[in-house]
Structure 1
């Protein structure tokens, strides 16, 4: 299938959700023909390079979609709430601003069924995890382990009553990669899970992969696991590390 041509979308609204999560809603005439029901999928934001070079591309999940717009949530990593060109753009975005956008790419949903499920991620995966929780049947069961930078970053999530959310807080997001894996190890009956969905910082991902894939024996039929970023690296460099990890059998 041919890759869709990039489109130009207009900023409809820009708002702070929590101290370290910012939302931008994109729409306008460029939204015409955008595929429906792509919440949880991803888009590529094409940001101008300050040096005049090729546009910088940054990948973000679609938090929600309506007939008039798509919502993109930006996790703010740095102590000043600004960790790179994408978050800088988001924080400065005003209604009417234009941005070039590629995609959408496919979501990574949970399989059908009632679980039990395990969802694990940091703030960068919170949009995708939120979409997955919203899509579960009312009688689904399981646990979600979510790492945020501040107590006030905790969000009210739409989820089945049988899914328990465990919030972890670390102001230095990604600096303590064992936090998520340690929390997962404390859950009872992990071996009985129907499926685990994991997305987080690279080093944290490797520890969770060791636990779930190696120690618990979860194969691809029971596990989706990915690193969304690596502490200290821009997206282009993270992609190289991620590729090398995959080639090494990760």
Structure 2
């Protein structure tokens, strides 16, 4: 199947959801043939680098979709990349080239209970996942944010408990997400686990879920969305190599 032709979208508005999460609303004529029901699907934002250079491409999640608009949420880091810098400065009328959407990554709803784990880069996708769970779902969501002020009010089933983890300076040497997950009571029955976060945290969480908890592939989604001290292009190479090793 051919990839969708990138579309030029207009900035309709922008606002801060929390001090370190900025929401940019995109719309315009370029969105006319955008597929419906794409919340949690990924899109590619393309930033020109000059006539002779390939554009920088950065991957983000469709957080909210309306008839003629989509919201894209940007986690802002201390070391800003081109996408977060663009989001911070986006003005109504600005335009950006957008590829996709790619496939949605939803948790397996055929489970006895649910565990969702991620940092701020995964919060848009986890927000969608929480909202689409059955009303009687039970389980946990472990969410890492930069500051207490970055905690959000999330739509969720009554019996899914939110655990906020504050981590001002993510690094490769520790994983507060794993520490919090290990402190949880592991419920009875078949869990479905959805995890996305920084690369090093992803690896230790994957080991925990696959080896220590023996969660089957059918009920386990694990991905890294970024790598500390790396660009997205560098992270993509490491992520591909790691996936090949993990599957052996």
Tell me if both proteins adopt one fold, taking TM over 0.5 as the criterion.
yes
Identify unmatched segments of 5+ residues in structure 1: none
1:158 pairs with one of 149, 152, 155: 155
Once residues 168 and 124 of structure 2 are traced to their aligned partners in structure 1, the CA distance between those partners, rounded to angstroms, is 19
Instruction: Give TM-score, length-normalised by structure 1.
Output: 0.95
SS in 2 for 1:127: helix
What does the per-residue CA deviation read over 1:59-96, in whole Å, with 9 as the maximum and x for residues that have no partner? 00110100121100000111xxx511001111111111
- Residue equivalent to 2:221: 224
Once residues 202 and 221 of structure 1 are traced to their aligned partners in structure 2, the CA distance between those partners, rounded to angstroms, is 22
Alignment of 1:58-137 (within 5 A): 58-78=58-78, 83-113=80-110, 115-137=112-134
Distance 1:131 1:160, change over 3 A: same
- Residue equivalent to 1:210: 207
Q: CA deviation at 1:158?
A: 0.3
1:63–1:73 CA contact under 8 A, matched in 2? yes
Q: How many residues of Structure 1 are paired with residues of Structure 2 in the alignment?
A: 247
Once residues 19 and 204 of structure 1 are traced to their aligned partners in structure 2, the CA distance between those partners, rounded to angstroms, is 23
- Residue equivalent to 1:180: 177
What does the per-residue CA deviation read over 1:101-123, in whole Å, with 9 as the maximum and x for residues that have no partner? 00001111122346310000000
Across the aligned residues of Structure 1 and Structure 2, the Cα RMSD in angstroms comes to 1.6
Once residues 52 and 14 of structure 2 are traced to their aligned partners in structure 1, the CA distance between those partners, rounded to angstroms, is 26
- Residue equivalent to 2:230: 233
Identify unmatched segments of 5+ residues in structure 2: none
What does the per-residue CA deviation read over 1:119-145, in whole Å, with 9 as the maximum and x for residues that have no partner? 000000000000000101111111000
Instruction: Give TM-score, length-normalised by structure 2.
Output: 0.95
SS in 1 for 2:99: strand
- Residue equivalent to 1:8: 8
- Residue equivalent to 1:55: 55
